[in-house]
Amino acid sequence: MDTVWILGDQLRRDTGALAGCRPGEVRVLMVESDSKVGSGRWHRQRLHFVLASMRRFAEELKAEGFAVDYRRASSMRAGVIAHREEFKPERLRAMSPMSFDGLELLRALDVEVIDNDQFLCSAQEFAAWAGDRSNLKMEDFYRWQRQRLNILMDGKKPVGGTWNYDAENREPPPKDGRSWPAPIIDSLDATDARVIADIARRAPEAFGSSFDGLWATTRTGALARLHQFVDEVLPLFGPHEDAVMSTEWKLAHSALSPYLNIGLLHAREVVDAAHAAFNDGRIPIASAEGFIRQVIGWREYVWGLYWLWMPEYRELNVLEAESPLPAAFTGGETDMACISHTVKAIDERAWVHHIERLMVLGNLSLTSGVRPGALVDWMWKSFIDGAEWVMLPNVIGMALYADGGRMSTKPYASGGAYINKMSDHCGNCRYDPKKRIGEHACPFTTLYWDFLARNEPELRSNHRLGNQLGSMRKLKDLDAVRERAVEVRARLIDGSL
Ligand SMILES: Cc1cc2nc3c(=O)[nH]c(=O)nc-3n(C[C@H](O)[C@H](O)[C@H](O)COP(=O)(O)OP(=O)(O)OC[C@H]3O[C@@H](n4cnc5c(N)ncnc54)[C@H](O)[C@@H]3O)c2cc1C
Ligand code: SF4
């Protein structure tokens, strides 16, 4: 009998090598790799999410009648070799993995690779779109996706006459004291108890709060969260997308990325649900367009860039940033209210929203000169939705500008003023976002000016930074700012800030 190998982020019945297979026709192989689980400081909920979702998917396949070889092994390679020895399959096939190294492994193991159809635009289609364009703008890709997938289109024109409603989506935190829908929480069962015990034994360095049912580990649970999002939250999606609130962890974000990334949901069904809600008049065009842009635009764009630019991309570090992570990211105390809140939120649920990733954690790492590989590794292990394909463009390209502008036209660097405008953190902080020197100077503000000065040779040719560099050169206290920045950077590392 042939074997179909299902990797831990391909938990779908209707895609890849398992699509169309019936019980009795193929045996299914799934491997839990000890070296992966035990490889460093993973968030407990992240490990739990993957392991419980894999085990439950295997049970579902067994209930359907499939013979499933679910095995624990020292590595993926060892698991596949042991399976071959025991079952001697005529053919072993798998869907093309989500990572470059995974694909290399499959090739080395002589596994038959089936195209990956967990995305709406395959790596090959993206490469054809990219062709010899000099500029791979997300907005161009998104419009191309809208047209070819016929989503929110009125013939050749965008529904509503406008492609992108982002201009309406930049509002600060709402001040009307509104309440947001409570998240669905599943009760834990015997599978969860076994996974919790396993993690305690197999992942001694794991950190963060234990799994509490916030994240679904089945397709049924993921669908319930999708429907709740579409019915109760999507109508609010948009205006406050960029806001950060200490009292509300996800505002109108969907928190669906974990399920999309391991196959419990497919982009097609998520987009169809949002599209249907718009067609029924249940959500405004700005909310529908804003959300659909994230899924068929940003998500697929990042996937395409990853395959287009790997493997060289993960080594890029054009700003030669070499600092380790701030101590506060890995358990140290800090008086910076925005950082303290964000890191605690990660501890609690292994998730923070896009602006906290980009403009709080990413911004501090960019302006203080954190080594790109260190930030990628930490975020990958800390976020419930972490994966290399999505992490590299977002961290190397978007957050750290380590690719010199291949992905973003300018670095997302900002001082405390931006965080003060978009969040409610600064009022509770010992630092002052307006100050750039002195003991109470906001580290973001000091580091922002220092970043521009320190990297001026690399950034000078970027015309979009002309005004910012001009303002930096005019600062009368620039020397004092740079002196303070040296101290701030050292204290971020030793954890005394
Ligand atoms: C530094 C940094 C690290 C990130 N790390 C990850 C990561 O490990 N895993 C991950 O899935 N996303 C990552 N992102 C992208 C984005 O922040 C998350 O996808 C998003 O916050 C997930 O929350 P959500 O489901 O509520 O998103 P929503 O705001 O509700 O958006 C809907 C969906 O669109 C997709 N999406 C939106 N923006 C992006 C983007 N920039 N890249 C890819 N997909 C996007 C996601 O699948 C998301 O579920 C990162 C972004 C940055 C700046
Ligand atoms: S003052 Fe600076 S460090 Fe404090 S919360 Fe605001 S941006 Fe963060």
pLDDT, one tens digit per residue, over 221-258 is 999 999 999 999 898 887 777 777 777 787 788 999 99
**What is the arithmetic mean of pLDDT over 462-486?**
96
Higher pLDDT, 237 or 370: 370
Ligand 1 within 6 A of CB of 398: yes
Q: If DSSP codes are grouped into helix, strand and coil, which group holds residue 174?
A: coil
pLDDT, one tens digit per residue, over 36-55 is 998 899 999 999 999 999 99
Cβ of 60: how many Cβ atoms within 10 Å?
16
CA-CA distance, 256 to 34, in Å (whole number)? 27
Looking at the domain assignment, is residue 212 inside a domain? no
Q: Which of 425, 428, 439, 448 for a ligand 2 pocket mutation test, highest count of atoms within 8 Å of Cβ?
A: 425
pLDDT of residue 170 exceeding 70 = no
CA-CA distance, 288 to 234, in Å (whole number)? 8
Report the CATH number that the domain containing residue 110 is assigned in CATH.
3.40.50.620
Contacts with 238 (C-beta within 8 Å, 6 or more apart), sequence order? 165, 168, 169, 252, 284, 286, 287, 290, 291
Ligand 2 atom closest to Cα of residue 415:
7
Question: 343 and 299 in one domain?
Answer: no
pLDDT, one tens digit per residue, over 375-426 is 999 999 999 999 999 999 999 999 999 999 999 999 999 999 999 998 899 9
Among residues 51, 84, 114, the one where a domain terminates is 114
- Number of folded domains in the chain? 3
Question: 243 and 145 in one domain?
Answer: yes
- pLDDT, residue 317, reads 98
Among residues 310, 344, 378, the one where a domain terminates is 310
Among residues 114, 139, 170, the one where a domain terminates is 114
The closest residue, in CA terms, to atom 5 on ligand 2 is 426
pLDDT of residue 288 exceeding 70 = yes
Ligand 1 within 6 A of CB of 358: yes
The closest residue, in CA terms, to atom 7 on ligand 2 is 416
CA-CA distance, 362 to 356, in Å (whole number)? 8
Q: Which domain holds residue 454?
A: 315-494
Ligand found nearest the CA of 388: 1
Report the separation in Å between the CA atom of 30 and the middle of ligand 1, taken as the mean of its atom positions. 27
- pLDDT, residue 180, reads 78
Looking at the domain assignment, is residue 211 inside a domain? no
pLDDT of residue 302 exceeding 90 = yes
CA-CA distance, 432 to 425, in Å (whole number)? 11
pLDDT, one tens digit per residue, over 121-152 is 999 999 999 999 989 999 999 999 999 999 99
Report the CATH number that the domain containing residue 262 is assigned in CATH.
1.25.40.80
Local structure of residue 111 (DSSP, 8 states): P
Backbone angles phi, psi at 461, to 5 degrees: -80, -5
Q: If DSSP codes are grouped into helix, strand and coil, which group holds residue 130?
A: helix
Question: 282 and 149 in one domain?
Answer: yes
Report the CATH number that the domain containing residue 365 is assigned in CATH.
1.10.579.10
Looking at the domain assignment, is residue 142 inside a domain? yes
Looking at the domain assignment, is residue 206 inside a domain? no
Ligand found nearest the CA of 415: 2
Ligand 1 atom closest to Cα of residue 393:
42
Ligand found nearest the CA of 246: 2
Question: 398 and 365 in one domain?
Answer: yes
**What is the arithmetic mean of pLDDT over 201-213?**
96
Its pTM surpasses 0.85:
yes
Query: DSSP letter string over 298-353?
Result: IIHHHHHHHHHHTTGGGG--TT---B---GGGGT---S-HHHHHHHHHHHHHS---
pLDDT, one tens digit per residue, over 179-192 is 778 999 999 999 99
Helices 267-279, 285-292: axis angle to 10 degrees equals 170
**What is the arithmetic mean of pLDDT over 451-468?**
95
**What is the arithmetic mean of pLDDT over 97-104?**
97
Looking at the domain assignment, is residue 208 inside a domain? no
**What is the arithmetic mean of pLDDT over 57-84?**
98
